Structure formats: structure tokens, C-alpha cells
Structure 1
Amino acid sequence: MKQIWNEIQPADRYQVALNGLLQDYDQKVISLLYQPLIGPQCYSLYMTLWNEVEINRLWSEDWNHYHLMNFLSMNLSDIYEARLKLEGIGLLKTFIKTSGDIRTFIYELQPPLSPEQFFNDGLLNVFLYRQLGRTHFLRLKNFFSDRAVEPGEYREITRSFQDVYAAKIGPEVLNDTEAQELSRLEKNRRYIGKNSASAIKIENTHFNFDILYAGLRDAVIPLRAITPEVKEAIVKLSFLYDINELEMKQILLSALTPEQEIRVDELRKTARDWYQIEHSEELPRLIDRLQPEIYKSDARDEGKTQEEKLIHYLENTSPRQMLIDFSGGSEPSKADLTAIEDVMFAQQLPPGVMNVLIQYVLFKTDMKLSKSYLEKVASHWARKKLKTVKEAMELAIKEDRQYKQWMNDKENRAATRRKPIRTEKLPDWFEQETINKTAAVAEDGETLEEKRKRLEKIREQYKKG
């Protein structure tokens, strides 16, 4: 696991800066549109940092992170994770300066998107719709919109500047150069005012346009139709709906107009329709697809041992993809996906930890994903505040007897007749860890063949009882 102390420490100093004045209306946007996506901890961090800046100013006083931890009643790891989420959604920029052993951060709060930008973003609005559902989504859209003036009912009679004001010619006009010069700010100062928010940018690290262009050469789509605006939409849609290059080619063909152009709105609609057909009318939910970087192991590759390879797999695979791998490539059932999503959101388990839980429960319940058992173990892991794959694996091994008792109690209560005893399977990492612990206390002088036989006997005895 990456040490949080390498990234941030309680004694580190910080100041809050505002990228332009934030207003009451911005608070409504963040509360009603952003909070369902980022969660209450991120919202609390943003609002706390905002309130540290005095009204009509752009900078706060200097504080340390002890103050922030005490004020929010959050540990440093949770504050750091909330900070990363705010950065990812475009509400925060972070800067750091190191002088010897002293680190100072600047947390520059960014204004939220306007409601019009948000509802036309193509990414955030889809996540919000999936999170809240149709009724509440429409309610919010109506809350942030109002009736427009009907052009046909009224005639504009607004006067222009030159209709009302006249320039006065005289000797004082010669002072205009001095006025312009005095209006310029020094390099280290800025005017206080309201700034516009930047749209969410998806870094293109997953979509290969060379493959797409190669496919388009055989199609009827001219490359000139892939404008910068369309290209940005392709990157965003490929991330949102997990569309590969060959699938995107077919979507572009469907969105092409008779004029050999691609309109972004039509492209979004076509991609959405494609996804709903492929995934039984479901829209994607805003979840962490993979284990967050802060909770991954230090190893950058798969590692050498079987355990390191497994940890790498669990950290770099989504829970949905792991279910697909377990079923040999077939799509998991809607009930299984719903169960996993409900548990992940209710217990706030990272995806890597959820992967360990899924694997453990599947083996414990004869490959049946029991939601009640999943929830019971997940709530225990949430109370233990598990964040890494390694921690989850170690706790599963340590508490296996207790979890087995929970399962037996459940089966005994539900049983109405005697059932045959099943042979319980276990994940490879569980069996290997048990064998490793037993082998570690073996006597010296034991031959490899004797050790192998003894460990095989232990494994068989474990499976039977």
C-alpha cells in the first residue's frame, strides 16, 4: 500500500484560494447537482475550505491539517481521498511547495459548472440521472430552469451605449494612457471577480484513435467529420459507456448525417441507445471502476509470486469484470450486479476490497452470490475500515471461523429438512496462506516429498472440516 504519509501529513500547512468569487447560487449547484455524485465527505470538505475564506476575499489564513482533521472529524486518509475526488470532478486544484522538511499546500477551489453546462455535459448529467432516477432528475432540471421570454410576444426596445452616452472631447482625453497603465495589475495580484468553470476533461489514456481511423478508411465516414468537438465527445462517451474502437466505428456510422457530418447530440443519443440495448436498458452508475491508486500496492507490475499476481488482478479489475471472468465470459445477472452495487454504496467498500469479498462469498456459498451473506460480511469489513486488497485477504483468513458460523446459523434457521453436507471450496489465496502458515513451523530436516504429503493431508483435512 502506498503510505499516506508520503502524500500528506497532519503537520503540513495549507491555504485556501478561490478561483474567482463563489456565490450562494454556486452552493445550491454543489449541494443539489454535485453532492449526489461526490458524496457527503467531499461536500463537507469543499464547504469547509470555502468557509475558511472571508467574504469578498480570495485567500484564507494559513492552517495545518490537524485543524482540518479536528474540524471535519475525519482521519487524514479520508480527507486525502475526498480531496482526490474533488480534483477529479473539477472542483479543486492542488499546488504544493516544499522547503526542507516543511510542505505547504494551496487548495484552489474551482467554481462549479453552471446548471446549463452541467445538464449538457454528456457525462455528469448521465451519472446524476442514474444516481437519482427520472423523477428527481426532472425535479432538479425544473429547479434550475425557468420560463424564457417569448420572442413573438414582445419587441425589444433596448437602447445601445452610443444612443445614451456621448464621448466628451477635451484636454483630459490625453490622460487615457495613464489610466490604462494604472489599470494593469502587478504580476502577483489578480482582480476579485466571478470566473467561469471549466468543463470536465477526460484524459485520453484508454481510447486508440489510430485504430478507429484505420477502421474508418474502410467505411463511408470522412475523417473531416471527426472535428475536435466530436473527438472530445468520442473520448467522453468511450469512458462513460466502455466503448472500444470497433464499437465506436459502428456508432459513428449510425450517427452520420446525409451531409456526411456528425452532430454531437446525435452521437450521444446513438451511444446511449447502443449501451441500453447491450445492457438491457441499464445506464452506467458512477462508481470507482478500479481500486483507487492510494489503496493499491506499491508494485507497478503483476509481481513474481502467485499472491502478488492475484493482488494485482484484484486491484486492476472492476467487480463486474471479475464476475464475468468467474462465469467464463458470460454477462452476470442483473440481480448479482444490483446486489454488488447496493453493498458497495451502502458500505463504501473500495472495488479491490469488494473483489476479495465477492471471491470469498462465491467460494463459501457454492458459487451462489448470497446477498444477505454478502451484506453481513461487508458490514463487518466496513466497520474494520478495510481499504486495501491485502487487508481484506488477511481479515478473511483471520475471521473465517466466525464467517463460517454465520453461514451455518443462517442455514440452520432456514433448513426444514436434513441436507447433505457439501465440500467447501476456498480461494487459492486462502488455501495457500493456510499452507504457508503451517509450513512455516515445520521441523528442520524434513524432505520435500514428506513436506508435500503432510501439507496435502492438512489441506484435505481442512476441506472436510
Structure 2
Amino acid sequence: MKCRIVRAQAAIQRESLYLYYYPLIGKDACILYEILQCCPEEIRSSDLETLCDLRGSRFVQARKKLEQYRLLRTFVKQDDMVLMIQAPLSPADFLRHDTFGRMYMEAVGSKRFETMKARLQQPDPAKGMKEISEHIDTTMLNRWNQKKEDAYETMRPARRQRIESFRFDVFFQNMDGIFPQKLRTPENLTLIAELASLNGISETDMRKFVNRAINPNKQTFDAEKLKHQIYASRPKVQPVTDRYAMAPVAFLQEKQGDAPVSYADKLLIQRLADEYGFGNDVINTLIEYVLKMTNQKFPTAYVEKVAGTWKRLHVQNREDALAAVRSDPRPQKQNTASVPDWYNDVETEQAGEDLMAKVRRQQQKLKGDGNGTNED
């Protein structure tokens, strides 16, 4: 019997690393990423360099490449360093990414970009075949009773508040033929509820987005297509009693005068929920704090620095977030144009005497005739 293997998610991520990230990060960064996946959890930096056969500046450059493309996060304190590996984006998410997709096309050209995009349209490998997968045997739950149920409810991990607040009874109305039971997996329902909560999408509007993400012939649900649709949409900012409980994307949109939130900022907000586990009240407090501290900017590096600090402080609600803000030793004035710590580390180049002389000549000319015509 001939077998065809449909790869698991881990294999797809490895494909993404080599076919999509590789032209941008290079061989050294790929080698470092692979070694980090299998090296001991604790290792001396010198031994790690030897293991990768990347020493000195080559190791540093490879590490920085991984950091730049969100494949690695690095933390330091005195002589300790933590290298936190991040999963690659899926091929579809990579090509859709506002920055990565453009840089990839610039690096490989439009023809190869189109070829790699076409690879995403894979035919269903099991089309026309009968599924014989074994279903789980639940007979062991025949002895399940209310006492065990109560004990389980007290010990099971808590569901996120944003999932509980989504009205699935409203969402499911008239959806039986569009969104069948087999697609209503816990993963799909969780994704739908979280996207709605973070982006300010009502249950009735979410039906339209989900409908467009379903292939009715194959009865498959495209989660990436759903995300892309919602990230490209613009929420309606509704008046609420508690502004900090509103959808973070709508909250940021309101903060910037109802101007649309960029795709990149929406992805960053999604990461605050997925990677840091913050609720809407914490995310909105963080957004407000960052805008205040950076003169109304929303830089990714600073947002993640604050998020990492709050995570280590076990911030779980707005009260915890406000306590973290009060503990920050930096000035909290509303109009202070504060910048991230790393901003001051950027090297600046002093203007040379020739450039300064040229500027002075231009200024004199403008004062003399007001035309502003360049001589140089």
C-alpha cells in the first residue's frame, strides 16, 4: 500500500523557515535557529557559539537577524541571557505580513513571490476518499458523575473572559447549513470569540466573516482567511460604560481620532492577547500608557518591553496594570515626550563641517532672494 504523508504543523513551520525566511535572514541565522531547538536548556554562550560554528560577530549577527524577524526574543540581566525561541509565521501569514511580505518580494522578485504564493493553494490530498480515522472511545466516562464534574470544574484551566463574553447563541442563529457541527471545534470557536473581542466585531457581523472563510464544497474552515478579513476591517466604536473593557483595536482607533488602526498594530494587539495572555482591560491600559510615554507612538519594541515587564509582575487586571504604571520610576507627565530606553542607545552621526557650511549658504541665499534655488 502506498502512503502519502500530510505534514504536521511543526513540519510546516520548518518549511516556512527555509522557503520564506531564509532569503531574508541567511544561512547563519537558520543554523542558529535549528541548534537552539535541540541544544541543552542551559549552556554557556561560548559553547553555544562552538556548537553552531558561529563565533564572535557572526554569532551576534545571526542572533540579531532572528530577533529582527520575530524568531527569537533575547533577555539579559548581568551575566545571564535568556534566548526565547518563537515559532515562524505560517507561509500564508508570512506573505501577508506588511513588512516581511514586501521585503521578501524585494529580495526574491515578483516572479518567485507569485510562485511561492501559488504553493499555498494545495489541493485536498484526501478528495474523493473515504475517511477511516478511528474515533475516540468515551466509554470510560460512563462512570462520570456530578461529584467528579464539580471537582473537574475547580481544577480545569480557566477560560479567557473574552471567550465567555461572546454570545454563541446569537452567532449560531441560521448558521447550521453554513457552519456545520464538524467545523465547530474548540480551536475554531476560541479563535472566533477572541477575534471578535479584540477587534470589536459583533456576533452578527462575525457570521459574515466566518461565512467567507468557509469552503462550502469541501466544508473546510480557513482560519488564516478569517484573520486576514478581520484585520483588514474597521470596527465601529460604540459608546460603552467602561472604556477599558472595550475591544483594544476600537480603543486604539478611538485614541487616534477614529483613524483606522494599521494591520501591523492589530497583529501586535493580537500578540498581547495570545503570547502574554492579557485581557482587554490590561491591553487597553498598556496602549494608553505606551502612547503617553512615547508621545503618541506605538513602537513594537517598547510595547513588548512593557508587556514583558507586566507579565513578570503577574499583571492580570487593570488594577494590577495601574500598580505597575505607578511603580515605574520614569516621569508620568501627560505631555512628556518620553522614549524607550533603547532609543538613547542608537548611535547618531554628527554633521560634518562641509554639510553645515552648505546649509548656511542655502540659508543666506533664501534670505537674499527668497527663491530657494540650489546652487550645489
Identify whether the pair has TM-score above 0.5, normalized to the shorter chain: no
Query: Computing the radius of gyration over CA atoms, which structure comes out larger, 1 or 2?
Result: 1
TM-score range, shorter chain: 0.3 to 0.5
Q: Normalising by structure 1, what TM-score?
A: 0.31
Q: Normalising by structure 2, what TM-score?
A: 0.38
